[in-house]
Chains A and B, each alone.
Chain A
Amino acid sequence: MEKPLNNRAWLMVAPVLVLVLFSALLPMMTVVNYSVQDSLGQNQFFWNGDAWFRDLLNPSTEIGARFSDALLRNLSFSLVTLALEVPLGIAIALCLPRGGWAVGPLLVIIALPMLIPWNVIGTMWQIFSRADIGLFGAALTGLGLHYNATQNAISAWCTIVVIDVWHWTPLIILLTYAGLRAIPDAYYQAARIDAASRWATFINIELPKLQKVLVIAVLLRFMQTFMIYTEPFVVTGGGPGSATTFLSIDLVKIALGQVDLGPAAAMSLVYNLITLTICWIFFTIMTQLDRRRYA
């Protein structure tokens, strides 16, 4: 079909551009603005060049050390939660019935954790994990484990991981289940005719057909875990020490606790760029793999 060319059509996009300008670009530019200035209070700012960025990316400075520690902590947190949630989510989705009356209630029960507001989750788990009155904490202590989410670094870390797995594995389950339901029966029937084992069916039929939903699931989960804030803020407060001080928690401490707007602005920009870059790399690799398969 012949498409007419008319540059005035750009005018139709103008309202969206204005909206994006106010919702994203202008606030973002204020952050950029702060990141290149220093202030001695009284709302007086002066030009500081790229000094904040250089400090931030140099681990021998105080802020640089904080940043690289938090980044490492955050990356390992994302890695651990994804490594737990994705296989667990797929496994549970595979166990769900493909049809029948039980599907509806089961999916609702599974989705429940996702419907609870973040800070409620934090509060719930704060109580739940207490060794004196919390069921989870008391049970672990009763088993003879040395568990204390607020004083023991390993306990604190594990608690945050468990919360995230509990909170967000349902998303993977739902996405995977939807993907599984989209596979026609004939594939399973052919697999039975071909005497494929359960494992071979999973590897050769289900996993390839799930690839697209899994890319989305992993991307979403990576972004969310990389930006995790509320759970550690409410449950551990970033502690003990700085054991659970992830990037967002550190950022808030610097920006709102110490009111160091310059370093905080620089940090949020770098933080943002890292998230974008990792997502882009991940997405490119997955789609390239896909294309190579077609060749």
Chain B
Amino acid sequence: MSRITLEGIAHSYPRSATMALQPIDHVWEQGRAYALLGPSGCGKTTLLNIISGLISPSQGRVLFDGRDVTQLPTEQRNIAQVFQFPVIYDTMTVAENLAFPLKNRRMERAAIKARVAEIADLLDLTNDLPRRARALTVEAKQKVSLGRGLVRADVAAMLFDEPLTVIDPALKWHLRSKLKAVHRALDLLMIYVTHDQVEALTFADEVVVMKDGRVLQVASPAQLFERPEHTFVGYFIGSPGMNLIAAKISDHVAHVSGHDIELGARYPKIKNGEAVIGFRPDFASLVPEGGIPVQVRRVEDLGRRRLARVALGPHEIFANVPEGVSIGGGQAGLTIQQDRLFVYVNDELVLGDRR
């Protein structure tokens, strides 16, 4: 049972002018699955390594259940971590590999054996147990690495650093659901680093979106989708991402290249009225008549839905084409769900007064 608290954690690598990690305060709750999502180099691995103790942070404190562990080495933190590329012990068999973390912690031999058998069964490694780990395929090796993490039942947290990068797509899905099953079965705190939004959104209860060493939003997958607090969250998550259009705001109306868009809220405090409005393609639809007049460029049939690429002045916008509506090309009207239309200033969400 544990919760991990980060208090003002920040980090910069030696001889580097930029902060790898801006100050972060966050509480990771027992039994939940988190994903750290962001592009390469955004600091997610740094954050993970600070939690596991492989890196000592430049500032701040790490607390495990209220106990300060900032200065404790990895070995004393009771953390399991799985890395991006398989790490296996060449000289050992698969069974010995899985037993290694338990053996080092002086667990009883019979208990080790039972636990190894259990994990091998979970990961479909039972037939490989007597084999030399080094003779396995890269996927099987990564399963062994995962297994060495999972084999310890008493860990404070399980950390995954893009563990499925080397796994092929079909098996990836399979392993991810295994991890999910393990998470449900063991009631562990899991933190999963990834740059793949699908992986993050399907795995996690809560997603931490990061960019340039900064945490932009911590929210459930649904919240990230419905109410992005940062323009980056808007366009990084979703496919295609959020439509973001520069606009001039005057009170409750946004002016975009000669057209007025009703915002459904008042924004009296925006300086010079300069802002960006954002809405997801999923909450915007094309209608044959009425709405904001736009130029239809192309309509793509994605099977489940139809997606139109339209132009509003110089701006390109993606929008849904509702079922039963036929768009012949040329002119059409755009309607936007007002409660899903947001205003951003300096990339940050600004809340208006809803009437």
Contacts and interface: CB of A to CB of B under 8 A. Distances in A.
Interface in A172-222: 184, 186-187, 189-190, 192-197, 200, 203-205, 207-209
Contacts of A186: 83-85, 87
A193 B101 contact: yes
Nearest to A204: B89
Nearest to A196: B104
B134 A293 contact: yes
A200 B104 contact: yes
Interface in B109-154: 132, 134-135, 145, 148-149
Given A192-B54, A196-B104, A293-B134, A205 B74 contact: no
A293 B134 CA distance: 8
Contacts, number: 63
B174 to A, nearest CB: 23
A116 interface: no
B91 interface: yes
Contacts of B83: 186, 189-190
Contacts of B80: 193
Interface in A272-295: 293-295
Contact of B74 (A193, A197, A207): A193
Nearest to A193: B81
A184 to B, nearest CB: 7
Contacts of B84: 186
Given A189-B83, A294-B134, A194 B101 contact: yes
Interface in B60-108: 73-75, 79-81, 83-85, 87, 89-92, 100-101, 104-105
Nearest to A185: B54
Contacts of A192: 54, 73-75
B101 A209 contact: no
B52 interface: yes
Contacts of A203: 91
A208 B79 CA distance: 26
A292 to B, nearest CB: 9
A200 B75 CA distance: 14
A208 B88 CA distance: 11
Contacts of B145: 190
Question: Of B84, B85, B90, B101, which is in contact with the most chain A CB atoms at under 10 Å from its CB?
Answer: B90
Contacts of A204: 89-92, 100
Contact of B52 (A193, A195, A293, A294): A193
Contact of B79 (A187, A193, A197, A209): A193
Contacts of A193: 52, 74, 79-81, 101, 149
Contacts of A187: 87
Contact of B132 (A200, A205, A209, A293): A293
Contacts of B100: 194, 196, 204
A289 to B, nearest CB: 11
A190 B91 contact: no
Contact of A293 (B75, B81, B90, B101): B90
Contacts of A208: 89-91
Contacts of B81: 189-190, 193
A195 B89 contact: no
Contacts of A184: 85
Interface in A56-115: none
B89 A205 contact: yes
Contacts of B101: 193-195
Nearest to A187: B87
Nearest to A190: B87
Nearest to A294: B135
A35 B347 CA distance: 89
B62 to A, nearest CB: 16
Nearest to B78: A195
Q: Which of A193, A205, A208 has the most CB of B within 10 A?
A: A193
A194 B135 contact: no
Contacts of A207: 91
A92 B56 CA distance: 27
Nearest to B49: A189
A189 B54 contact: yes
Contacts of B74: 189, 192-193
Given A209-B90, A294-B135, A295-B135, A194 B104 contact: yes
Nearest to B100: A194
Contacts of A197: 104
A53 B221 CA distance: 85
A77 B80 CA distance: 49
A200 B96 CA distance: 13
B133 to A, nearest CB: 10
A195 B106 CA distance: 10
A196 B148 CA distance: 13
A184 B75 CA distance: 19
A194 B148 contact: yes
A195 B90 CA distance: 17
A294 B79 CA distance: 31
B85 A195 contact: no
Nearest to B132: A293
Contacts of A189: 49, 54, 74, 81, 83, 87
Interface in B181-238: none
A295 B132 contact: yes
A102 to B, nearest CB: 15
Given A189-B49, A192-B54, 8 more contacts: A186-B83, A190-B81, A190-B145, A193-B79, A195-B101, A196-B100, A205-B89, A295-B135
Q: Which 5 A-B pairs have the closest CB atoms?
A: A190-B87, A194-B101, A208-B90, A195-B104, A192-B74
27 contacts: A184-B85, A186-B83, A186-B84, A189-B49, A189-B74, A189-B83, A190-B81, A190-B83, A190-B148, A192-B54, A193-B74, A193-B79, A193-B80, A193-B101, A194-B100, A195-B75, A195-B101, A195-B104, A196-B104, A204-B89, A204-B90, A204-B92, A205-B89, A207-B91, A209-B90, A293-B90, A293-B132
